[in-house]
Amino acid sequence: MRDSFGSKFGTLVAMAGSAVGLGNLWRFPYLVGENGGAAFIIVYILLGFLICLPIFVSEFIIGRRSQKNAFAAFRDLSDGSAWRWVGLFTVIVPLIVLSYYSVIGGWSVEYLIKSLTFSFTGGSSRAQISTMFSGFVSSTWAPLGVHTIFLLTTTVVVMIGIKDGIEKFSKVMMPLLFVIVLTIAIYSVTLPGASAGIDYLFHPDFSKIDAKACAAALGQAFFSLSLGFGTILTYASYASKSDNIMTQSASTAISDLMFALIAGVAIMPAVFAFGIDPQSGPGLVFETLPYVFGQMPAGGVVAILFFLALLVAALTSSISMLEVAVAYLMEEKKFSRLTACITLFVICWIVGALCSLSFGPLSHIKIDGGNLFDFFDSLSSNVLMTLGSLFTVLFVGWRLKKTDIYDEFTNGGTLSANAKMFGVLWFLIRYICPLAIIAIFLTNLLS
Ligand code: PFF
């Protein structure tokens, strides 16, 4: 029998685990600060609910209707048509993302170990911390070692299964993650000078809201909600038929937003309290913050908590990416869960190792001006994810039968609130979402 989640809460924490990840911790706070603070947050919320939530619901509908892996879901719901290749596409894309995500997951393992040995409390200068980071990522063996540890942990959780592995892991880790990030946020706002960080995050500047800021908000919301990667679809295929798709989807989106906002309040006030200009991405997390931790009272403990949170957030996301292909291999190619996990571990380890080495021994290999890691990152977040989401809404809006979607969304007509909002949802999925996705695609292409 097919494994499934044991409860509504289990489904919710697993989906929230997929959504809450590096995107929330290292990109959202910076994007908000740079693009108009509270004005950007308003745009993010509006676009999130008008465009991303319907896409999320679409993935949920496909997954739960079919109760199959992503490939079979597209194939069977379209009576074996060519749509199944879209399904296969959404199986392959998360593997690419997992390969490079695991490299960064490995870095968070390394930095957790460094903070456990109190490496950031010696009052090192910013230059020393930066040299430590660049020395580490450009070396050969240490990053490969931690990439292996991270990917192995991900694989073991997935190997245990849906209810006993992914669900149990998420049920413990997501509340822990929430408590840690909230604790750091409370501490961070009490630091002298923290208000400059709050101002950076929340001061509304509507003059910064243009097409580019909207495209940035939408791109970030896509990545943050794990849309277009087959992960929500696959998790939804393990959800109970009695779950309310609308409340589960909205709760995941709200949890993801809350995490992103609290992460901003945990990070930016601390950065500003020490008079530093914020950065985005790896620079923020592995260079700026370790320096800040070295300066603040009890920074050693905060560093441990922060890197633990980073690791947990990355793990629950990477687990969801691996499960997409595991489900495919098990159901379509008749692999056992164990063999599927080992096969995918080997593939992702090799691709991830190439990405890891692209910061050091393979840094001379350039694609489109960047290293292999940058190439995979920008290809998947700018192109593949957008295409995956576009295919998903087109499939639901234009290929599936409206009556079937209604039936799935309202649990056979029994959820009256969902029945009332169906008309609006249908309109958004059919017309607004595809147009908005094409618009971000073009804005990114032309800018
Ligand atoms: N949502 C994750 C984050 O914000 O870091 C990233 C992610 C997870 C993307 C799962 C894609 C995915 F399938």
All residues at 6 or more sequence positions from 416 whose CB lies less than 8 Å from its CB, including other chains: 410
Q: Can you tell me which atom of ligand 1 is nearest the CA of 225?
A: 1
CA of 194 to the centre of ligand 1 (A): 29
The stretch 356-365 carries a mean pLDDT of 95
56 and 227 Cβ atoms separated by less than 8 Å:
yes
**pLDDT interval class at 445 (50, 70, 90):** confident
Q: Quick one: tokens of 291?
A: 């320096």
**Residue 139 main-chain phi, psi, to 5 deg:** -80, 170
Q: What is the model's pLDDT at position 1?
A: 82
What's the CA gap between 44 and 52, in Å, rounded? Answer: 10
pLDDT at 352 over 90: yes
CA of 223 to the centre of ligand 1 (A): 6
pLDDT at 57 over 90: yes
Query: Atom 7, ligand 1: which residue's CA is nearest?
Result: 226
Query: Atom 10, ligand 1: which residue's CA is nearest?
Result: 226
The closest of 82, 79, 54, 53 to 66, measured between CA atoms, is 79
Q: Which domains does the chain have, with CATH numbers?
A: 8-446 (1.10.4160.10)
**pLDDT interval class at 281 (50, 70, 90):** confident
pLDDT at 358 over 90: yes
What's the CA gap between 399 and 145, in Å, rounded? Answer: 46
Q: What is the model's pLDDT at position 326?
A: 98
CA of 17 to the centre of ligand 1 (A): 9
pLDDT at 382 over 90: no
CA of 441 to the centre of ligand 1 (A): 19
Which residues does a 6 A CB cutoff place in the pocket of ligand 1? 18-19, 21-24, 94, 97, 223-224, 226, 229, 231, 317, 320-321
362 and 143 Cβ atoms separated by less than 8 Å:
no
Amino acid occupying residue 318: S
**pLDDT interval class at 115 (50, 70, 90):** very high
**Residue 109 main-chain phi, psi, to 5 deg:** -60, -50
**pLDDT interval class at 256 (50, 70, 90):** very high
Query: Atom 9, ligand 1: which residue's CA is nearest?
Result: 226
Across the chain, mean pLDDT equals 95
Q: What is the model's pLDDT at position 124?
A: 87
pLDDT at 447 over 80: no
pLDDT 10s digits, 162-199: 999 999 999 999 999 999 999 999 999 999 999 999 99
For a substitution probing ligand 1, which of 44, 101, 103, 226 has the most ligand atoms within 8 Å of its CB? 226
Q: Quick one: tokens of 177?
A: 């993650």
Q: Can you tell me which atom of ligand 1 is nearest the CA of 21?
A: 5
Q: What is the model's pLDDT at position 393?
A: 97
Q: In 3-state terms, what secondary structure has residue 138?
A: coil
Indicate the length of the chain as a whole number: 447
**pLDDT interval class at 222 (50, 70, 90):** very high
225 and 252 Cβ atoms separated by less than 8 Å:
yes
DSSP of 333-375, one letter per residue?
S---HHHHHHHHHHHHHHHHHHHHHTTTTTTT--BTTB-HHHH
What's the CA gap between 370 and 362, in Å, rounded? Answer: 12
Share of the chain above pLDDT 70, in %: 100
| Residue 101 Cα distances to 27, 351, 363, 377, angstroms | 14, 11, 18, 9
**pLDDT interval class at 241 (50, 70, 90):** very high
Measured at the CA of 392, the angle between CA 40 and CA 31, to 5 degrees, comes to 20
Query: Atom 11, ligand 1: which residue's CA is nearest?
Result: 226
Q: What is the model's pLDDT at position 430?
A: 98
Measured at the CA of 384, the angle between CA 104 and CA 367, to 5 degrees, comes to 65
The stretch 243-249 carries a mean pLDDT of 98
Torsion angle, alpha carbons of 313, 319, 325, 328, to 10: -130
Residue with tokens 């593949």: 384
Q: What is the model's pLDDT at position 134?
A: 96
The closest of 157, 435, 444, 87 to 314, measured between CA atoms, is 157
For a substitution probing ligand 1, which of 223, 284, 392 has the most ligand atoms within 8 Å of its CB? 223
Q: Where are the alpha helices (DSSP H) in 278-298?
A: 282-283, 289-295
Q: What is the model's pLDDT at position 414?
A: 98
The stretch 117-132 carries a mean pLDDT of 89
pLDDT at 46 over 90: yes
Q: What is the model's pLDDT at position 120?
A: 86
The stretch 402-408 carries a mean pLDDT of 98
Q: Can you tell me which atom of ligand 1 is nearest the CA of 22?
A: 5
Instruction: Please state, as a whole number, how many other Cβ atoms lie within 10 Å of the Cβ of residue 364.
Output: 7
Sign of torsion over alpha carbons 198, 259, 381, 86? negative
pLDDT at 153 over 80: yes
pLDDT at 122 over 80: no
Radius of gyration of the chain (CA): 21
pLDDT at 279 over 90: no
The closest of 3, 94, 158 to 347, measured between CA atoms, is 94
Q: What is the model's pLDDT at position 123?
A: 77
CA of 314 to the centre of ligand 1 (A): 8
The stretch 75-82 carries a mean pLDDT of 95
Q: Quick one: tokens of 191?
A: 């630091």
Q: Can you tell me which atom of ligand 1 is nearest the CA of 313?
A: 5
275 and 121 Cβ atoms separated by less than 8 Å:
no
pLDDT at 302 over 90: yes
pLDDT at 143 over 90: yes
pLDDT at 368 over 90: no
CA of 162 to the centre of ligand 1 (A): 18
**Residue 338 main-chain phi, psi, to 5 deg:** -65, -50
| Residue 11 Cα distances to 21, 61, 87, 179, 397, angstroms | 17, 14, 22, 20, 25
Q: What is the model's pLDDT at position 378?
A: 86
